[in-house]
Structure 1
Amino acid sequence: NAHQVLDDITVPIFQISSLKSIGINLLENYLRTELNDKTKLKLKLENPLGIAERIFDKYLAIVHERKQILVNDEQILFILHSDVDEYRRQMLDDFKLQLSKIDNIFFRMIDNMEEFLLEYIQISRLIPTLFSSSSSAELKAQFNNRVNKNIEQDITLCISHLCDWIVQRSNRTVHQLNKHLNASSSNSRRQQQVLNETSNDMSSGADVDFSISRQQILNQLQTQSQNILYNQKTVNGAQADELTASIRSTMLGTAAIEVGAVGLGVLAALASFDWTGLLGAGLMGIFGLYLIPMRRLTIKQEMKDRIDKTRVDLTEQLRKHFSHELDNNERKMRELTMPYARFVQDEEEKIQKTIEQIETVRKQIRQLKLDIDISLLQKGKLQ
């Protein structure tokens, strides 16, 4: 117990009893032989140094404990930064899937267009196209109903889902960051205060910012997409008109070539009973049969190119906006962890500085003890 109180196992302990005269001789012998003037002077000089050394040893142990806490904080910061990095990587990967949904809408539009052309640019459509006054309007209406069917609504819905996806994934990552920060709040009282401030900022500001930004994202994307879709709608209207003119031109060209072969009246009579186009095709000469598929391929390629251009323009706008939002959200997340990171960095600098100061003082104490021993040794030689 005495060694623990004095914190020095080198101090001799004498168990004495004056009543039973136990240990008195050993103590008396120690006082006469060991505790001489030289030893007394050394003890007198080294006593405050020993006290100071033990105090600094205790402080150094406390500082190392705090340093270990900061090591845990560094691990948490690494997890936080890894979460943000993983958020960006997953968002970039999943965005490709989101874009593929929009691509599929346009691909479906191309399929509808091909089916439409296959059905309407054929021999059986020749007579109605030439002699019906309502055929052009009907053709345009059929084109809009079958090719442009729900395209604008489907794309608007995809964009709305895209905005929800961006906000939900961002909020989920923010909650994950907040969870890691709250888990580390038991390290120290000061750290608790910093983490509470950080958590309050995240819970009160981050979700609100992300939720508010959803409507902003949605409005911006819908405005941009509406502009593109409006242009596409205008182009599609022109395409319907051009398609009508192209079909009429093709059919008129075919009829002009074949009128000398079978006569327009006979052709009209036969075509009226030939809804499949097979019988009419059998009556047509080789030049007429060549014009229709060639014109169909030309119209098909022109319309496919226009649809592809619209798809590329829209996806490019979405990609630019997504990149902007991703960078903005990543910046917000890193800003949320900055108070915690600054706290850890400041504490590391303070602890390192404290360790250096304590080591400097301990080195000076050891040097003073050495100087005392040398001085006493030299004094003993002079005597």
Structure 2
Amino acid sequence: MTGSATLPSADPQPRTRYDAVLLVSFGGPEGQDDVLPFLRNVTRGRGIPDERLEEVAHHYRHFGGVSPINDQNRALQAALTAELDRRGLGLPVLWGNRNWDPYLTDALREAHAAGHRRLLAVVTSAYSSYSSCRQYREDLAAALEATGLADELEVDKVRQYFDHPGFVSPFVSGTREALRRVLDELGPDATPADVHVLFATHSIPTSTALASGPPGADLGPDGAYGAQHRAVAEVVMASLGSGDDGFESPWSLVFQSRSGDPRTPWLEPDINDAITELAGQGTKGVVIVPLGFVSDHMEVLWDLDEEATETAREAGLAVARVPTPGVDPAFVAGLVDLVSERHTSDGDAAVPRPALTSLGPWYDVCRAGCCANPRGERPAVAGLG
């Protein structure tokens, strides 16, 4: 489907001078007392009772009520600062979350107090969908309104980076290493064909998936969200097949972490169902690649490292999980490449816009109606509408 996709023009925006980089993320609780208030923030406006939230809360409580995502963002903030300084860009890196401290409103007030007026946002989500792009843009607009800074601050956003080499290359090396581990566990008679590579990402409602990406684009039944993931998985597997090891394993895209009304269709297959089916077909091992995730947050630690791994072990399969990019130097450098695409100092040369699939490089500014809000239109920054 990626080869036949028709996309509106993605002309890059003129480079300009920014005052600071704004790292924008989801946020997470940092203690048992934070868990329910955090989940209320995540589900605000949806009327979900605390009893239902407790069904999710036990994932966090299993880890002491602490999500790793905030510490990971602190590490990413420090790594980005160091790389920006190393390249002589000198942009400070501020950090704000959608759902927990430090909130976006805090980061915008901090930016304004420091004298910054033009911010370039880097979001910890690589793909196109409502929850992974448009909702962040809406929350930034809401934070500007809530702080009274809508006329004082301008916030742009780097492009979706699903197929940027800096995001993809850690998955290539991590998948290669995980395949070696699984083959070692299976023994000398095992071959790559015995191991199935499962590219895992967050499930979303099928209607939301179809609406992902710009209206009118021919991207298949899962919209930009599905097309982007499949295109990146193809790049990873092609890289493995062309390497010295010549890993040529079967693979598929699977989904995890679905929630909400069970009557609503969501993207499938679920990773646990897929693992069970593979075991019945004679597969001997699986490699789980958290392709939809930037860092090892709760849905990686619980849904993959606990539940999916347990499913595989109970089915008698060897299993290994690939690391997320986190603060891999290639990923950090790639994010700074994205900043360099938009930020300019006087007299500096133009920079390339690399992309490893036919879908990219993606848009600097989201198209009108892109990744529409399923609950109705809301103002958003960094877009044409």
TM-score normalised per structure 2: 0.18
Counting helix residues as a fraction of each chain, which structure ranks higher? 1
